[in-house]
Amino acid sequence: MTTKSSIRRLWGVAVVAALMAGSAAGLAAQTKVYPYPGDPSWYPMDRFWDVITPDNRAEITGSNPRYGNGSLELTTTGSLWDWGFYGTLSGTNPWGRLADVNTLSFEWYRKELPYTDPNIPYITTWPDNPWLAQTPVLRLLLGETINDQLVMTELIWEKYYTNASATAFDQWVYEDLTSQYFWRDNPGGSLYSVNDCSLNEPVQVTPPPAWELMLGTPTGWADGTFVNSEAGACPSFDMRYAEVYGIAVGVGSNWPDAYQGYADYVHLGFNNVQGGTNDAVYANFELPETTVPEPGSIILLGTGLLGLGGATLLKRHRKQ
């Protein structure tokens, strides 16, 4: 669950700092990286502006490794301001156009925890409660040049807005987001794009209601194709020139109770002129001094070894 307050602090401050300073996070724009704690290409975005009260609500740990010895661990205690993201920025040059995104995925894990507050009846009585559906969150950080000024905004994926059914606990899940629904937070973090083609702050409930937010896939936002527009085409939501300057994964605010999840294997790519993919982000979170093969390399190694022994493999269907 993500609120406008968290977005305003996370993206607004991060982008200003990155674009003015050139941002060491631009190093992340390469085919494969293994972010580790302290790696400048990826860094905590949760309350990073508050140097007096640092926290570790989004940190790379070895408590639930994936494809190596680490993953991104995400925790909250059930508080409005208890949230955290890990992110990377392109620096002063965008990775590519929103309209050209052809690869966007990550893997997530949500741990089943006992409730710490027995006085929250809606947790167990509301079948489509976002609490039951939500997983780690992924955000595309965007920039558009409007009247010669770079205006920042973002698209946010939360499982609840594509699939409100209860989530799977205690297992890693691969999530392809290219055809799933994102909602948009507008410049400054004070307005959402809603389905009457206006820029409004929805009814004061958290999370914003799915029937009111404008929802679309990444390329749908770029070409004006939405799944729930009440007004047809929305010229005011024209994002055909939007470019991707960053990406972040984490857990949003306003959970009603304790939460623990994990994220790993973040992949963002764009169409190239040959029809393939230009990778901008291909990240597997690890602990220091560890080099691990990417999942596809592990599979290829296995097929090679078995081939030497004359065995026949069924090719595993997995994102490469």
Report pLDDT digits (tens) over 210-235: 677 889 999 999 988 888 776 667 77
pLDDT bin (cut points 50, 70, 90) of residue 111 is very high
Domain assignment present for 307: no
Q: Domain limits at 249?
A: 4-289
* Calpha distance 111→163 (Å, rounded): 19
Express each pLDDT in 267-307 by its tens digit.
Answer: 999 988 777 778 899 999 999 865 555 555 443 433 333 33
Reduce the DSSP state of residue 45 to 3 states and report it.
Answer: coil
DSSP for 128-152? Answer: T-HHHH---EEEEEEEEEETTEEEE
Number of domains in the chain: 1
Domain assignment present for 304: no
Averaging pLDDT over each range in 76-85, 98-107, 157-166, which range is the top one? 98-107
Q: Return the higher-pLDDT residue of 59 and 147.
A: 59
Q: Return the higher-pLDDT residue of 167 and 52.
A: 167
* Calpha distance 170→112 (Å, rounded): 6
CATH number at residue 185: 2.60.120.260
Q: pTM higher than 0.85 for the full model?
A: no
Domain assignment present for 317: no
Would you give the distance in Å from CA 193 to the centre of its chain?
18
Domain assignment present for 319: no
Domain assignment present for 130: yes
Is 67 within 8 Å of 298 (Cβ atoms)? yes
Reduce the DSSP state of residue 72 to 3 states and report it.
Answer: strand
Q: Return the higher-pLDDT residue of 236 and 272.
A: 272
pLDDT bin (cut points 50, 70, 90) of residue 10 is very low
pLDDT bin (cut points 50, 70, 90) of residue 100 is very high
Asked whether the CA dihedral 293, 297, 298, 301 is positive or negative, the reply is negative
Rounded to the nearest integer, the mean pLDDT of the chain is 75
* Calpha distance 311→313 (Å, rounded): 6
Domain assignment present for 154: yes
Domain assignment present for 320: no
Which H or E run contains 307?
A: helix 295-308
**Average pLDDT for 100-122:** 83
Backbone dihedral angles phi then psi of residue 220, each to the nearest 5 degrees: -65, -40
Domain assignment present for 202: yes
